[in-house]
Amino acid sequence: MVVQALAFYLFATVAVLSATAVVTVRNPVHSVLLLILTFFNAAGLFVLLGAEFLAMLLVVVYVGAVAVLFLFVVMMLDINFVEMRQGFLNYLPIGVLIAVVLFVELALVGAGWTLTDGAVAVLAQPTPEGVTNVEALGRLIYTDYAYIFQAAGLVLLVAMIGAIVLTLRHREGVRRQKISEQVKRNRADTLEIKKVPVGRGI
Amino acid sequence: MELLWDGYIEPLVWIVAKILAIVVPLLVAVAYLTYAERKVIGAIQLRKGPNVVGPFGLLQPLADGLKLFLKETIIPSSANKGVFIIAPMLTFILAIIAWAVIPFDEGMVLADLNVGILYIFAISSLGVYGIVMAGWASNSKYAFLGALRSGAQMVSYEISIGLIIISVLLTTGSLNLSDIVRGQTGGIWEWNFVYHFPMFIIFIVSILAETNRAPFDLPEAEAELVSGYNVDYSAMTFALFFLGEYANMILMSGLCAILFLGGWSAPLPFLEFIPGAIWFILKICFVLFIFLWVRATFPRYRYDQLMRLGWKIFLPLSFAWVMLVATFLVVFDKVPA
């Protein structure tokens, strides 16, 4: 299909270009916005693969939640751009090293698939015969690997509790609104009618 | 040549025609929603509302639109120009493209996605970017504060909306919007709001907060923020925000109609001779009326009260309801296949 090929090249080109721009533009807010564009194009590529559930999840979780927090943090911080660039040369060797390692790994994966006979045939289909994407994924997570999934959930729960414990502070002297108490209040608790004698006060 | 025509151009023309058939009535609906809002609030406050331009003031929205169109678009000199212009466009586009998966009647839908409800959820979770970008790009503290408030508010209420959608999906067994409606056909007692009544109420309150409408219109609180994130926008850029906000209201009302009020299905079986699209539009109008009614009735929430309501009341309640529905379905062996 010509249209699908065109769509693929569109998504792929924009994804690569915006990913490059994420690390090269000067303004950090522009960086985050371009990162969002990259996520979005990755979601488009997922749709082309037939994995529409993953695509929607990528948009909901990464674009809709994670990147929003990211954007908040970047907007709130007053970042000194000149200072940020200063350590660039010091960190360059480490950065290049990580990039090379990642590239070699990706190349190994790609080579493994193409050089081994029959490897492509065992590739898991995003849409198995007869069921939708969502159902196939649901079966894997909730039926085949339910216990492992639960364990992953517990790990996340522990991390969440840890984050709350680390940041929870009890400040003294903060007046909090207790709405239930306000609602429970009746006239006898709050109001007292007194007769004020003339010329004397209370 | 024939392949090119049959394979590409003809479907393309069809799709463009269908898109126009959705978008043009939508924009007219947005224009007349502003008119309806002013009339309804006028009636509630014992006023007349717009009644000068045209019969019963019916041409008022067109006059307003024309006015916005003819004004000068001002871009503040300290603004971040690219982001400043992209933000209203993004808001407007996001409010429009979500309509692609809304089924108006049996088979009357532009794209019958299997993950339709997730698509709408994804698009509405993007809506926050338009506002945050606008607030940041304006380079003004009022706009920025409004954008931050709005961002926090929309992210918070999305969670309870998501959980409510999950509990509806549990009883339907499909992520396809048409299937959700098909599961509710047969009369008003089959509609989801009967079984999920507490969630129906919470959903309506949450979509008020999600669309930044009164009593949760803190992002544009005139008293403190002189209208919030869009304070620096004028003319068409402002109009795009305005259109986007109202189109979002209609969209959320449509979602409410699909999830809880049976979409295009008739309330009583003998009324099925009336086309489904008319029922669907009537239900949207009903939810929209609630939007306007609430705006005229309730004072604005304070920000901490808003957050308390979202995180401490709606989130636990909707979580509990998901658990309850799931347990009920498993215990009574009613899990949809």
The tens digit of pLDDT for each residue in B81-119 reads 888 888 889 989 998 998 989 998 888 888 888 888 888
**Per-residue model confidence as pLDDT tens digits over B5-29:** 777 788 888 889 989 988 999 999 9
What is the domain range of residue A161?
Answer: 129-167
User: Which of the residues B4, B83, B94, B129 would you substitute to probe the A interface, choosing the one with the greatest number of A C-beta atoms within 10 Å?
Assistant: B129
Q: Is the pLDDT of residue A123 over 90?
A: no
- The answer to whether position A32 is within a domain reads yes
CB contact under 8 A, A68 and B133: no
Structural domains of chain A, count = 2
CB contact under 8 A, B125 and A65: yes
What pLDDT shows up at residue B315? 92
Domain boundaries, chain B: 1-70, 77-332
- The answer to whether position A62 is within a domain reads yes
pTM for this structure?
0.85
Contact A136, A128 (CB under 8 A): yes
Distance separating alpha carbons of residues B328 and B332, to the nearest angstrom:
6
What pLDDT shows up at residue A188? 85
CATH number at residue A11: 1.20.120.1200
Residues of B in contact with A56 (CB under 8 A): 115, 118-119, 121-122
Distance separating alpha carbons of residues B263 and A123, to the nearest angstrom:
40
Q: Say whether both A58 and A1 belong to one domain.
A: yes
* 3-state SS class at B146: helix
Domain boundary (A167, A182, A197) is at A167
- Determine contact: B308 vs chain A, CB below 8 A: yes
CB contact under 8 A, A64 and B126: yes
Which residues are CB-neighbours of B114 under 8 A, at least 6 positions away? A52, A132, A133, A134, B175, B176
Query: Nearest-CA distance from A3 to chain B in Å?
Result: 9
Domain boundary (A18, A52, A80) is at A80
Which residues are CB-neighbours of A81 under 8 A, at least 6 positions away? A26, A27, A28
Q: Is the pLDDT of residue A98 over 70?
A: yes
pLDDT band for B327, please (50, 70, 90 cuts): very high
**β partners of residue B105:** B108
Percent of chain B past pLDDT 70, that is, above it, reads: 97
Q: Say whether both A71 and A136 belong to one domain.
A: no
Contacts 24+ apart (CB under 8 A), B237-240: B237/B73, B237/B84, B237/B85, B237/B88, B238/B68, B238/B88, B239/B65, B239/B68, B239/B69, B240/B88, B240/B89, B240/B91, B240/B92
- The answer to whether position A13 is within a domain reads yes
Contact B50, B39 (CB under 8 A): yes
At B151, list the tokens: 């961002």
B134 burial level (CB within 10 Å; 0-12, 13-18, 19+): buried
CB contact under 8 A, A57 and B119: no
- Determine contact: A164 vs chain B, CB below 8 A: no
- The answer to whether position A152 is within a domain reads yes
CB contact under 8 A, B8 and A56: no
Residues of A in contact with B8 (CB under 8 A): 2-3
**How does the average pLDDT of chain A come out, rounded?**
84
Contact B139, B82 (CB under 8 A): no
Q: What is the CA radius of gyration of chain A?
A: 28
Distance separating alpha carbons of residues A133 and A155, to the nearest angstrom:
26
- The answer to whether position A158 is within a domain reads yes
- The answer to whether position A9 is within a domain reads yes
Quick one: DSSP state of residue B264? T
CB contact under 8 A, A52 and B125: no
Residues of A in contact with B132 (CB under 8 A): 68, 71-72, 75
Distance separating alpha carbons of residues A162 and B132, to the nearest angstrom:
29
At B318, list the tokens: 């909707």
- The answer to whether position A96 is within a domain reads no
Q: Which residue has the tokens 């058939």?
A: B21
* 3-state SS class at B108: strand
**Per-residue model confidence as pLDDT tens digits over A132-148:** 778 888 888 888 899 99
What pLDDT shows up at residue B225? 66
What pLDDT shows up at residue B224? 67
Distance separating alpha carbons of residues B170 and B9, to the nearest angstrom:
41
Helix, strand, coil percent values for chain B (each to nearest 5): 75, 0, 25
Residues of B in contact with A36 (CB under 8 A): 129
CB contacts < 8 Å between A and B, how many? 61
What pLDDT shows up at residue A105? 93
- Determine contact: A75 vs chain B, CB below 8 A: yes
Residues of B in contact with A54 (CB under 8 A): none
Q: Which chain A residue has the Cα nearest residue B119?
A: A56
